[in-house]
Each structure stands twice: as structure tokens, then as C-alpha cells.
């Protein structure tokens, strides 16, 4: 990829999945931007306390290096299940970012993006290349059904979808209380396999296993990725659980 003006090329993760030719997707890392600590350096989150000019430049670098067809619609994510339809919102200029934790697009040029720093981003593509989506799947969103809501709004037969699990906090570092485990077991007893007891009377939670369970139950069996832990790799990933105040990375998907 060509270098952004005013910055050297930076590394991204490109999903290794059998997406159709019209689909483009990428996950940004923390290196290659202009933000100062603790947001160093490619922070794309405008809501974390970073300087606005730095965030704008980082987003410009992402847009330039990835050759995005348009500025992504940066949503206000609230760990819910609302799904934004970018084809409907395209061309609008809302006074504030729409509140949603997933986005779908069927038209070329509309870029779905999720901001994360431990929560799991999940990207979707229709096998026939006619639709894409991105979802923000922390434990609250997963338990509430954000993945199921995204699949439903795509209106593609689940067997016609593929999904990719991006970097998220791994089970060795994601400690939760019993109420989190209970929230999942109330809907799926087999979700118990995603929780391991620790010696503090709490649980180690595997977001990847939970996401795969939810996708499988929704009929999406072709699931890829899920091999990175944000907490354990501070050189490449922001992690809210590890650092508290920190930047955000972007999971992006669009059609060309």
C-alpha cells in the first residue's frame, strides 16, 4: 500500500478469510499515528480524551493508506444491539454520531467501522459479495444479542455469510464476575465452556468462544480469526483492561 502523506506506511491486520473479490477489510494497530501517550500513536477514538487534531490526522492516515472510498461513519458505541444501516444514512450529516454497535452496508463505498480496545470486533461478508457488516461485541453486547441483531438486519441467509473475529482481550486476562457467566448461561447452558474458574472466586471469560457459540446458534458456521489477545501484546494493541486510558483501534469493512 502507498504511504499516507505526512506519514510512513503502518501495519494492519488483513483478515485471512475467503471473502469475495468485492469485499475489503482491515484492522488497524496502535502504531503509525501522531497521538501522544497514553494514546500513542494511531488512536482513532475521538471520545477517549485525545487531542482532536491528532485523531483527525490518524483517521486521515487510515483513510489514505487503506484507500477507503469515503470517510467511515464513526458511531457512538454503547455496548448495545442497535444496527446502523449505512445505505440509509449515506449522504446525511447528523449533528452527532449515530448510536449503534453494528453497521451494515450493501452499496459500494459505505465503510463500516467499529472502534475497539479489548472488545471483540466481528466482521461479516455475504458469500456472494452483496453485503457486509461490522459489530462491536464486548460481553455486554454479546449477551444482549448484537451478533444476532446484525445477522437479522443483513437479511442474508446465515449459511450465506462468513464472519471474522478480530483481536480482543484473551481468556487468560479477562476476569469477570459470576453475573457475567449467568447472563450467558441463562440463554445457552453450553456457554459454560467459555468460563474457567480462577483462584479468586471469579471467572476467566473467553470472548471468542462466546462469539462462536452465538454465531453458530444464529446459523453462521463459517467463522475465522480470533487468534489475537489485545492485553498481552502492548506493542501492537491498545487494551482498556490493561492500561485504563488508551486509544482505540478500528475494524473496517466495505464493498468496492
Interval 5-62: pLDDT, tens = 557 789 999 999 999 999 999 999 999 999 999 999 999 999 999 999 999 999 999 9
Q: State residue 3's pLDDT score.
A: 40
- Say if residues 146 and 81 touch (Cβ distance below 8 Å): yes
Q: State residue 91's pLDDT score.
A: 72
Mean pLDDT of the chain: 95
Question: pTM for the complete prediction?
Answer: 0.95
Q: How far is CA 170 from the centre of its chain?
A: 15
**Average pLDDT, integer, range 245-250:** 98
Backbone φ/ψ region at 201: left (φ over 0), alpha (ψ -120 to 50), beta: left
Residue 184 scores a pLDDT above 90: yes
Taking the alpha carbons of 22, 58, 235, 200 in that order, is the dihedral positive or negative? negative
Q: State residue 2's pLDDT score.
A: 39
Rounded distance between C-alpha atoms, residue 128 and residue 95, angstroms: 35
CATH number of the domain at 12-255, out of 3.40.50.1980, 3.90.1150.10, 3.60.140.10, 3.20.20.100?
3.60.140.10
Distances (CA, A) of 188 to 64, 84, 166: 43, 27, 23
Rounded distance between C-alpha atoms, residue 173 and residue 8, angstroms: 33
Rounded distance between C-alpha atoms, residue 171 and residue 65, angstroms: 32
**Average pLDDT, integer, range 109-118:** 97
Domain ranges of the chain: 12-255
- Say if residues 132 and 153 touch (Cβ distance below 8 Å): no
Q: State residue 6's pLDDT score.
A: 58
Rounded distance between C-alpha atoms, residue 121 and residue 208, angstroms: 10
Residue 91 CB neighbours (<10 A): 7
Question: Under 8 Å CB-to-CB from 134, ≥6 apart: which residues?
Answer: 102, 103, 112, 113, 114, 121, 122, 123, 124, 251, 252, 253
3-class secondary-structure state, position 137: strand
Distances (CA, A) of 84 to 105, 154, 177, 245: 9, 11, 31, 27
Amino acid at each position: 500500500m502507498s504511504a499516507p502523506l505526512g506519514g510512513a506506511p503502518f501495519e494492519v491486520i488483513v483478515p485471512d478469510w475467503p471473502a469475495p473479490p468485492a469485499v475489503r477489510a482491515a484492522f488497524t494497530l496502535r502504531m503509525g499515528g501522531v497521538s501522544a501517550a497514553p494514546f500513542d500513536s494511531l488512536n482513532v477514538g475521538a471520545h477517549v480524551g485525545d487531542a482532536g487534531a491528532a485523531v483527525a490526522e490518524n483517521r486521515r492516515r487510515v483513510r489514505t493508506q487503506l484507500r477507503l472510498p469515503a470517510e467511515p461513519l464513526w458511531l457512538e458505541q454503547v455496548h448495545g444491539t442497535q444496527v446502523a444501516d449505512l445505505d440509509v444514512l449515506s449522504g446525511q450529516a447528523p449533528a452527532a454520531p449515530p448510536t449503534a454497535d453494528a453497521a451494515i452496508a450493501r452499496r459500494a463505498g459505505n465503510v463500516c467501522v467499529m472502534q475497539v480496545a479489548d472488545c471483540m470486533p466481528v466482521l461479516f461478508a455475504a458469500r456472494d459479495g452483496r453485503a457486509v457488516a461490522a459489530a462491536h461485541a464486548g460481553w455486554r453486547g454479546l449477551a444482549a444479542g448484537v451478533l444476532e441483531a446484525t445477522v437479522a438486519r443483513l437479511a442474508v441467509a446465515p449459511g450465506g455469510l462468513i464472519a471474522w473475529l478480530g483481536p480482543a482481550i484473551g481468556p487468560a486476562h479477562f476476569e469477570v464476575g459470576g453475573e457475567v457467566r449467568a447472563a450467558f448461561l441463562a440463554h445457552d447452558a453450553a456457554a459454560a465452556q467459555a468460563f474457567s474458574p480462577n483462584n479468586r472466586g471469579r471467572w476467566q471469560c473467553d470472548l471468542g468462544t462466546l462469539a462462536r457459540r452465538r454465531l453458530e446458534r444464529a446459523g453462521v458456521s463459517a467463522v475465522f480469526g480470533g487468534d489475537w489477545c489485545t492485553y498481552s501484546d502492548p506493542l501492537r494493541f491498545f487494551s482498556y483492561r490493561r492500561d485504563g486510558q488508551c486509544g482505540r483501534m478500528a475494524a473496517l469493512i466495505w464493498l468496492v
